[in-house]
């Protein structure tokens, strides 16, 4: 049985979450709390396997309570977050402090999409409750001058089906790539913070990232990651050309794909149609376009996340001669998306999170 403590100042939310979770025979609601102070008492007394934590509460808010829980009685915590921009910033802070995931607190959608939300919540609670606190690693930040001018050489890439070439700066070495594509979901914000800020300022190729996240969250996340990083990080925009040393995060409102309309520049396109993809933004949608435009010259990286989004796209990328890295189980919050790739037999390397930045640097 997964023992759950529900913390929320709203009686409606406490009852709604209790009703959804108690319907599963593997889950037991062992208590509820109306604020952060009660949460501290209940965590110490009841020893839950997992906690759902509201952010805004009287007496003690969810962030303050989370900090003390992680210091005194570490336990997996899922934040219940509003979908506002401010809610996004607070949620990202919570994830940095040790929360394992978040669920949107949207009362209108809760009544409309109750079945979908219930299935997602039950799956997360059972997996995260059984796994416990993920392994924390400390990554060493590489020098900002990893790519010095003496290490670089200029190559040209011929765009598929055209005779046009475009110059790309790339370091000397074997099996170099022209683009890095990263896909992730649950646990992704922390995992990306263990990778992107550790890349040097003059990183020689573009990076595209699809992280399952609501629309209002991706802009705030890109801004936060940019503040921490030597390279530029931004939310991707429709029609913009990819530039070396810039990481583009797919906006949560749709699926990010790449195209080359004029045969030279690779640009971003954002599709807001659901299409056949369950998750938004879809990792598969991004990876399939990468495989098409960068045959044999792309590195695909799959990080922590539930489900198998990204596997189809990475199979296509691998078939073109591209390379694939997967995060290992020990350092994943959820070993779902990486497992699908590893089980498909297409991972060139399976790596702990603290080694991925270095392996990316060695590949470009």
Check if 309 is active-site. yes
State whether 88 and 168 are in the same domain: no
Domain co-membership, 164 together with 100: no
What DSSP line would sit under 242-266, residue for residue? Answer: P-TTEEEEPPTTSEEEEE-TTSS--
Catalytic residue from among 35, 49, 284, 309: 309
Q: How large is the average pLDDT for residues 28-55?
A: 96
Q: Which pLDDT score is estimated for 137?
A: 56
Please report the pLDDT score of residue 194 as a whole number. 96
Does one domain contain both 217 and 176?
yes
The catalytic residue among 178, 212, 255, 284 is 212
pLDDT tens-digit profile of 136-184?
A: 655 555 444 444 433 443 333 333 333 333 333 333 344 589 999 999 9
pLDDT of residue 170: 38
The 8-class DSSP code of residue 330 comes to: G
Residue 316 lies in a domain: yes
- Indicate the pLDDT class of residue 120, thresholds 50, 70 and 90: confident
Among 82, 185, 210, 229, the active-site one is 185
> Which pLDDT band holds residue 135 (cuts at 50, 70, 90)?
low
Residues 27 and 158 occupy one common structural domain:
no
Give yes or no: residues 221 and 321 share one domain: yes
Mean pLDDT of 220-247: 96
The last residue of one of the domains, among 131, 160, 195, is 131
Q: Which residues of 133-163 are buried (b: 16+ CB within 10 A; e: fewer)?
A: ebeeeebeeeeeebbeeeeeeeeebebeeee
Which of 57-66, 170-179, 247-256 bottoms out in mean pLDDT, i.e. has the lowest?
A: 170-179
Q: Which residue has the higher pLDDT, 19 or 120?
A: 19
Active site residue 185: yes
Q: Are residues 117 and 153 in the same domain?
A: no
What's the rounded mean pLDDT across residues 43-64?
A: 94
Residues 183 and 76 in one domain: no
Q: pTM of the prediction?
A: 0.85
Domain end position, chosen among 103, 131, 159: 131
- CATH, residue 11: 3.40.50.2300
Question: In total, how many domains does the chain have?
Answer: 2
Say if residue 187 is in the same domain as residue 262.
yes
Is 53 a residue whose pLDDT tops 90? yes
> Does the annotation count 198 as an active-site position?
no
């Amino acid at each position: 049985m997964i023992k759950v403590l529900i913390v929320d100042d709203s009686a409606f939310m406490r009852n709604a979450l209790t009703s959804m979770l108690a319907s599963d025979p593997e889950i037991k609601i062992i208590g509820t709390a109306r604020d952060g102070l009660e949460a501290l008492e209940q965590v110490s007394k009841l020893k839950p396997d997992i906690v759902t934590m509201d952010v805004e509460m009287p007496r003690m808010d969810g962030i303050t309570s989370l900090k003390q829980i992680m210091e005194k009685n570490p336990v997996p915590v899922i934040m219940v977050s509003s979908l506002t921009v401010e809610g996004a910033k607070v949620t990202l802070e919570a994830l940095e402090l040790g929360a394992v995931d978040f669920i949107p607190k949207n009362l209108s959608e809760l009544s409309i999409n109750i079945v979908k939300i219930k299935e997602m919540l039950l799956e997360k609670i059972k997996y995260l409750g059984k796994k416990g606190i993920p392994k924390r690693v400390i990554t060493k930040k590489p020098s900002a001058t990893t790519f010095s001018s003496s290490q670089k050489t200029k190559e040209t890439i011929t765009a598929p089906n055209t005779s046009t070439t475009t110059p790309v700066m790339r370091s000397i070495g074997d099996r170099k790539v022209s683009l890095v594509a990263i896909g992730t979901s649950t646990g992704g914000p922390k995992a990306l913070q263990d990778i992107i800020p550790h890349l040097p300022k003059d990183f020689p190729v573009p990076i595209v990232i699809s992280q399952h996240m609501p629309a209002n969250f991706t802009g705030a996340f890109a801004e936060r990651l940019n503040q921490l990083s030597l390279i530029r990080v931004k939310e991707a925009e429709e029609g913009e050309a990819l530039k070396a040393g810039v990481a583009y995060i797919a906006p949560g409102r749709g699926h990010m794909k790449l195209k080359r309309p004029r045969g030279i520049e690779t640009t971003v396109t954002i599709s807001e149609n659901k299409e056949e993809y369950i998750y938004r933004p879809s990792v598969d949608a991004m990876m399939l376009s990468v495989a098409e435009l960068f045959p044999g010259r792309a590195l695909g990286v799959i990080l922590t996340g539930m489900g198998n989004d990204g596997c189809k796209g990475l199979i296509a990328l691998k078939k073109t001669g591209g390379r694939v890295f997967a995060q290992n189980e020990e350092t994943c919050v959820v070993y779902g998306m990486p497992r699908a790739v590893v089980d498909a037999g297409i991972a060139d390397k399976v790596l702990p999170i603290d080694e991925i930045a270095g392996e990316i640097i060695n590949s470009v």
